Amino acid sequence: MIPILAAIGVGVLGTLAEKTAAALLKRDLGGRMATDPTGRPFDAILGQSRSVASTQSPLLVAASPRPMGPRVAGDLIGRKVVANGSVVELRGSIATVLPYRLPTTAAAVQIEVRDLHGTVVRTVSLGPRPGGLHQLLFDGRGLPSGQYLYRVIATDAVGQPIAGANTASGRVMGVRLENGRPFLDVGRALVPLSAVYHNQ
């Protein structure tokens, strides 16, 4: 907390110093643009020094928005969430049920399966589907056994994405860390924190 407050203070002071220096230079130079001996405007020099400071100062880096990590994930325990992305365990060619929900009729539905590195390994086109809860019996044939992520992609008659399509919804019962990434236990589904698009 202290590094973040310090970084905010440094940023505010830096901005005030820049504005004051610019005002003084303009007053002393009669409104003409100030330059250094090489002819570069001081505004350009200030901008360059600001970009160098932001990449080198640990205080300024600490003030950047923090990623959604375990603490934020823990804050969701007990809350209801909706997510489009769930973990599925594939065991060779043994069929696994992939549930998904559509808020309305879709002209085209696809289930996209990715490995845990984010590479798409399979896309299943299902054609049009009515709104409601659906299941895809997925055998994972040709894929190594292990954990994968799947999500639903639904579009309307003009090819626009349908908001609200999801693979999991319910109350968050717990949080797990897998390779440093937070996953939420939502009902009987395990979803990455990044797949959550609504909570209450």
Kindly report whether the global pTM for this prediction surpasses the value 0.75.
Answer: no
Q: How far is CA 131 from the centre of its chain?
A: 27
pLDDT category of residue 153 using cuts at 50, 70 and 90: very high
Sign of the torsion formed by the C-alpha atoms of 27, 31, 36 and 37: negative
> DSSP letters along 101-138, please?
EESS-EEEEEEEEE-TTS-EEEEEEEEEE-SEEEEEEE
Question: Helix, strand or coil for residue 86?
Answer: strand
Percent of the chain scoring above 70 in pLDDT: 64
On the question of pLDDT at 93 being above 50, the answer is yes
Calculate ∠ Cα 178-98-166, nearest 5°.
80
The whole-chain average pLDDT of the chain stands at: 74
Question: What pLDDT digit, counting tens, does each position of 78-87 carry?
Answer: 999 999 999 9
What is the structure's pLDDT at 199? 72
Contacts 24+ apart (CB under 8 A), 57-63: 57/7, 57/10, 58/3, 59/3, 59/6, 59/7, 59/10, 60/7, 60/10, 60/11, 61/7, 62/3, 62/4, 62/7, 63/3, 63/4, 63/7, 63/8, 63/11
What is the structure's pLDDT at 71? 65
Question: What pLDDT digit, counting tens, does each position of 34-70 carry?
Answer: 444 444 443 443 344 333 333 332 222 222 233 445 5
Neighbours of 142 (CB within 10 A): 9
